[in-house]
Every structure is written in structure tokens, then in C-alpha cells.
């Protein structure tokens, strides 16, 4: 197995990133891993326009983890001045549970701290995702209790299967 390499996404990576993110969160393919949202959301998790916009954003970085010339994980980082925002975190479902997610998160935190010189990372997680939130807590993130609404009615973010979805802010000092 080749070494895991990290690089910034380019426009050519958009289709592969969309496939990765969709496979990690939606539909039956996502059930091969433990991060699936298939029980709480239908529809899409992202699309080509949204991924391309992240790549084009001068305050953002779409970090890719590549092994054997294939994208196996990704995350979105955004420099928000006082802190970095961490999002669109996806690991190929068949590779979840083996440390790849921890490696990506460590690289994202290193980049935010060393390149953007921020002292904190923020993320929002759907509050009913107890197992996922517990995973982040084991990596030093803290629940804040600060909630924001789920974008019901905006199918760009999925089609909810329940009416109690909202996002909770998690933070970590870097």
C-alpha cells in the first residue's frame, strides 16, 4: 500500500470529490462505513457547483488525501480569521475505521494552525449524530450547545427524513 499523500483539490478533482462525499453520506454505498446519513437524509450531500465554489474560494482549502493515485478522503477548511472552519469531511466508506479519518483531521488541524495561524477549529455536526459527535469528542472537540437550524426546504443539503435536525457547533483549541 502506498503512502498517504495530502494535496489541495483542483478543478479536475470536482467529479471525484462529489463521488467520494456522496458515497460517504448518502444511499446504500454509504452503509459500508459508519458515517452514513442515509437514515436521516435522502437526496444529495453536495454537487459539482458547491465543490467547485470551495476550490475557487481564496479563503478556503479543499484538502485531499490520496493513496495509490486515488482520492480516499477529503475535508474543507475555511479561514475565518479568529478560527478555521472544518467541513465536508468524507472518508471512503470501505476505509473508515482504520485511522484514515484521524490522519486527515490531524493534517487539517496542522494546516490551520501552522499556515493560517489560527488557535481554534470550529465545525457543525447534525446534533442527532451521537456516534459521530463522540468520535470528534475523542479527538478533543467540545460540544458548545450552540445550535443552528438545518436548512429545511433547501434540497442542495439533502431531503430530511425527520423534523428534528439541527446543527451543533463543536470547537477545539489548536
pTM of the model: 0.93
**Cα–Cα distance for residue pair 173/56, rounded to 1 Å:** 27
Instruction: Please choose, from the candidates 18, 15, 39, 13, the residue with its C-alpha nearest in 3D space to the C-alpha of residue 28.
Output: 39
Q: Which pLDDT does position 73 carry in this prediction? A: 98
Ordered domains of the chain (ranges, CATH): 5-122 (3.40.630.30)
Cα-Cα-Cα-Cα dihedral sign, residues 4, 85, 156, 47 = negative
24-79 pLDDT, tens per residue?
A: 888 777 787 777 787 888 888 899 999 999 999 999 999 999 999 999 999 999 99
Helices and strands in the chain: count of H runs, count of E runs: 4, 9
Q: Which pLDDT does position 1 carry in this prediction? A: 53
Sheet holding 84-91, edge to edge: 5-8, 60-67, 70-79, 84-91, 120-126, 166-173, 142-149
Name residue 78's beta-bridge partners: 60, 85
120-140 pLDDT, tens per residue?
A: 999 999 999 999 999 999 999
90-125 pLDDT, tens per residue?
A: 999 999 989 999 999 999 999 999 999 999 999 999
* Residue 145, all three cell numbers: 450547545
What is the length of the chain? 174
Instruction: Please choose, from the candidates 41, 21, 42, the residue with its C-alpha nearest in 3D space to the C-alpha of residue 33.
Output: 21
Please count the other Cβ atoms lying within 10 Å of the Cβ belonging to residue 107.
Answer: 17
Amino acid at each position: 500500500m502506498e503512502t498517504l499523500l495530502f494535496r489541495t483539490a483542483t478543478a479536475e478533482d470536482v467529479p471525484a470529490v462529489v463521488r467520494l462525499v456522496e458515497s460517504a453520506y448518502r444511499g446504500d454505498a454509504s452503509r459500508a462505513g459508519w458515517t452514513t446519513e442515509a437514515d436521516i437524509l435522502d437526496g444529495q450531500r453536495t454537487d459539482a457547483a458547491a465543490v467547485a465554489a470551495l476550490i475557487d474560494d481564496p479563503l478556503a482549502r479543499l484538502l485531499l488525501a490520496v493513496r495509490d493515485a486515488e482520492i480516499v478522503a477529503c475535508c474543507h477548511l475555511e479561514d475565518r480569521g479568529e478560527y478555521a472552519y472544518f467541513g465536508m469531511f468524507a472518508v471512503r466508506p470501505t476505509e473508515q475505521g482504520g485511522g484514515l479519518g484521524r490522519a486527515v483531521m490531524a493534517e487539517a488541524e496542522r494546516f490551520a494552525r501552522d499556515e493560517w495561524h489560527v488557535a481554534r477549529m470550529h465545525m457543525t455536526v447534525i446534533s442527532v449524530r451521537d456516534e459521530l459527535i463522540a468520535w470528534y469528542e475523542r479527538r478533543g472537540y467540545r460540544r458548545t450547545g450552540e445550535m443552528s437550524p438545518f436548512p429545511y426546504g433547501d434540497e442542495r443539503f439533502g431531503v430530511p427524513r425527520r423534523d428534528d435536525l439541527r446543527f451543533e457547533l463543536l470547537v477545539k483549541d489548536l
